[in-house]
Amino acid sequence: MEETSGSIFNIFQFPLFCIIIILLLGGCFAAAAIWKKNILSIFCSKYLMIGYCGLLIILAFGSYLLPEKRLLKPISAVQEQAYGQAEKELFSLSIEELSQSIDEGRINEKSNIIRNTKMTFPSESDQLEIILQNSNQAIWIEKKEADDGIIEANYISYFKFKDYDMTRIALPPTFSKNENQMTIEVPPQTIQFIAFDQDFAVSQFTPGSASYQARNFSSFTSFQKIYLRIPENIQVKANTEINYVKKS
């Protein structure tokens, strides 16, 4: 998945925003012409600041009028603890412990935070060719002790940008199988963030807050694993790196 920095929800359509800016600047130039003042004079600078603050106020109130379906809300303070715990567990687990968490249902218990896309396929052969498309990530494979004739595919993922849960927005890979060939396609995806940040609208006028935007718009956390369970007798070849998991 590709990502571009910014924020999460769209306050006004971009053309309308441009029109507002043009009208605002046009008004300043008109005021300068009437009062025979240069646009950089103190007089016009004062009114430019008034106009800019007015625009911020309009956008701030406008953000509360957006339809819910178009608004992605940040994680609440109550939810943040659960997200922090889930994130800590994910990044501290070894691949063997992750497999055990899947078996014991601990991953599914956090299904509102961690996504586990799971599919099963019949195995008709002792050979399996894996073709991974649009990605070069490693594939983790566990060989089951029993030959139950079932291939299990898991994709465990977690994506968070700043204080926003992106896991449900990021598209999971698609798994398909034809005879002894399994294709895993990671869909190309670009997520663009266009928004008005209410906190920055206020903090930009606070002394010492120049680094606010850089601090708060650069936090992207991701976790993704493709994990297959196959019968022990199957031999695998793939167009990407394969890591075998040995469970104790």
Same domain, 149 and 239: yes
Last residue of a domain, one of 38, 70, 102: 70
Enter the pTM of the model. 0.64
Same domain, 221 and 156: yes
Same domain, 154 and 169: yes
Domain that holds residue 129: 77-245
Same domain, 210 and 226: yes
Same domain, 208 and 138: yes
The token duo for 135 is 């990605």
Same domain, 81 and 45: no
**pLDDT value at residue 131:** 96
Per-residue pLDDT of the chain (248 residues; tens, 9 = 90+): 433 333 333 444 444 555 666 666 666 666 655 555 554 555 566 666 777 777 767 766 666 665 555 556 778 777 888 888 888 888 888 888 888 888 888 887 788 888 888 899 999 889 999 999 998 899 999 998 878 899 999 999 998 887 888 888 888 999 999 999 999 999 888 777 665 555 555 555 555 554 444 444 457 788 899 999 999 999 999 999 999 987 65
Same domain, 126 and 59: no
Last residue of a domain, one of 41, 70, 99: 70
Q: Which residues of 132-165 are buried (b: 16+ CB within 10 A; e: fewer)?
A: beebeeebbbbbbeeeeeebbbbbbbbbbbbbbb
Same domain, 97 and 199: yes
**pLDDT value at residue 3:** 39
The total number of structural domains in the chain stands at 2
**pLDDT value at residue 230:** 94
Same domain, 127 and 162: yes
Last residue of a domain, one of 14, 39, 70: 70
Same domain, 225 and 109: yes
Same domain, 97 and 10: no
**pLDDT value at residue 142:** 92
Same domain, 61 and 169: no
Q: Are 149 and 123 in contact (CB under 8 A)?
A: yes
Interhelix angle 42-63/14-34, rounded to 10 degrees, is 150
